[in-house]
Chains A and B, each alone.
Chain A
Amino acid sequence: MSGGEPLVRWDWIGDHAGELADYTGAHLRLGLLPVLFGLIVSVPLGIACHRWRWLYPPVLTVANILYSIPSLALFMIFVRYTGLTERTVLIPLTLYTLSVLVPNVVDGLASVPEPVRQAATALGFGTVRRVVQVELPIAVPVVIAGVRVAAVSSISLVAVGQLIGQGGLGYYITRGLQLDFPTPIVTAIVLIMLLALATDALLVLAQRLLTPWSRSKVTSS
């Protein structure tokens, strides 16, 4: 870095406000779509794992193995099949969310008290109706605790996708390095953290609205 260059040049931020907003939008989309896809996959998968316990260990092992693969390597392996497109970022990030979401769906369902389950059955609920109307709502706090972790890490991982040209705000990280100019890097880091923390706060709010009966504190792992 050249001497006397400040950490942040505020005028640069002002000049690039419009562009920054565009990249922020793209970043949010790239970070949150995987969580949405992950939920769509892990809710039925978690229900299946809860119902047929033998299914859970292999599913968990696969999810853990996927999680241990570095994002950069996973992106690169997908490039062959999906090219330098958004999908190359979205698919690996979706796979990562499964390692948090599936266990949390299973734990959430396991947290349903047995008497509640029996009461639902006694009221004449069929299996499907009991799972959808009784067990899943009760599982919501534990599931959302997982969604919070998945969303925050997904949003901060998107930046790595910039190495294949699909990184949302990660663009400013590589740009700053190329120009030897810290302002874009600092701005990108701060914006990414703000996105992650705002998303986290919204999820806490969503949980309150979805589970008005539980006002007690839920521990997030």
Chain B
Amino acid sequence: MNDLLNQVRLVGDWLASSKQWHGDEGIPRRLVEHLTYSGLSLLFAALIGLTLGLLVGHTGRGAFAVAGVVNLARAIPTFGLVVLVVTLAGLSTTPVLIALVALAVPPILINTFEGVRGVDPATRDAARGVGMTEWEVLVRVEVPMALPLILLGLRIAAIQVVATATVAAYPGLGGLGRFIVDGLSRNDYQLVVGGSTVVVVLALVVQIAFTALRRVLVSPGLRVSASKS
């Protein structure tokens, strides 16, 4: 318990030092880098994953391929992928973004697909029956009903990207992982645990943001089934 208090004090001192809040080595700069990598990767991954997921889910074509690719992708060690990309293509942002996008597409894709496919066929037929076009069925019936799962997929992807962007500091990229990696190599425990704390806080903020997003976006009529995720 005492040790825990010491650790909290250690982190508090680190956070309180004004050095952390200014300059190239400070938290704001690292946070912006981290959010830039994560945000861009998530955006591209969402474009790819949502489009493919809606397409496959609505038409039902290619479902088998999607399941296979997603299973295979889950087994890829992302730390290895990021390091490999840097070794092959050199240190720059784009290759690392590609690795992060590759990581984030599968959960978005599979959840969007499952969400759309899981819509009751009777509901779908009813929508067609009242004269909706295929596009309207997709946008006004399937997407709102699949939204809890789609948001779950985006949340999983966001959390994984934020976590993996940390690892990207190891081969020399910026972001919040820098504190941890630098702290390890300098044997500076305060830096390691301070940086870890900032990362944990960011991860929790992302988690809370998605919970709030679900409250706002998901139709009240679907809340009960949404609570399961």
Contacts and interface: CB of A to CB of B under 8 A. Distances in A.
Contact of A155 (B75, B180, B206): B75
A54 to B, nearest CB: 14
Contacts of B195: 73, 76
Contact of A71 (B72, B163, B206): B163
Counting chain B CB atoms within 10 Å of each CB, the highest count among A76, A186, A188 belongs to A76
A177 B207 contact: no
A40 interface: no
B53 to A, nearest CB: 15
Contacts of B157: none
Tell me the dominant secondary structure on chain B's binding face. helix
Contacts of B167: 70, 72, 160, 163
A68 B87 contact: no
Contacts of B204: 65, 68-69
Given A76-B180, A193-B75, A177 B203 contact: no
Interface in B71-103: 71-72, 74-81, 83-84, 86-88, 90
B74 A72 contact: no
Given A73-B166, A80-B3, A185 B83 contact: yes
Interface string B109-126: 000001000000000000
A156 B78 contact: yes
Contact of B189 (A71, A80, A149, A153): A80
Contact of B80 (A181, A189, A200): A189
A141 B173 CA distance: 42
A177 B83 contact: yes
Interface in B126-172: 159, 162-164, 166-167, 170-171
Interface in B58-75: 71-72, 74-75
Interface residues of A, number: 47
Nearest to B74: A152
Contact of B77 (A67, A72, A81, A189): A189
B76 A189 contact: yes
A192 interface: yes
Contact of A65 (B79, B162, B207): B207
B51 interface: no
Nearest to A71: B163
Contacts of A153: 74
Interface residues of B, number: 43
Contacts of A176: 83-84, 87
A76 B83 contact: no
A159 B77 contact: yes
A182 interface: yes
A173 interface: yes
Interface in B163-222: 163-164, 166-167, 170-171, 177, 180-181, 184, 189, 192-193, 195-197, 199-200, 203-204, 206-207
B86 A79 contact: no
Looking at chain A's contact residues, the main secondary structure is helix
A70 B166 contact: yes
A28 B166 CA distance: 24
B7 interface: yes
**Which residue, A72, A79, A156, A185, has most C-beta atoms of chain B within 10 A?**
A72
A205 interface: no
B7 A80 contact: yes
A221 B228 CA distance: 13
B3 A182 contact: no
Contacts of A174: 83, 170
Interface of A: 1, 7, 64-65, 67-74, 76-77, 79-81, 149, 152-153, 155-160, 162-164, 170, 173-174, 176-177, 180-182, 185-186, 188-189, 192-193, 196-197, 200, 221
21 contacts: A1-B90, A68-B206, A69-B200, A70-B163, A70-B167, A70-B200, A70-B203, A73-B203, A74-B200, A76-B180, A80-B193, A152-B71, A152-B74, A159-B80, A173-B84, A174-B83, A182-B88, A189-B76, A189-B80, A189-B84, A193-B75
Given A69-B200, A164-B184, 5 more contacts: A65-B204, A76-B195, A157-B77, A182-B87, A193-B72
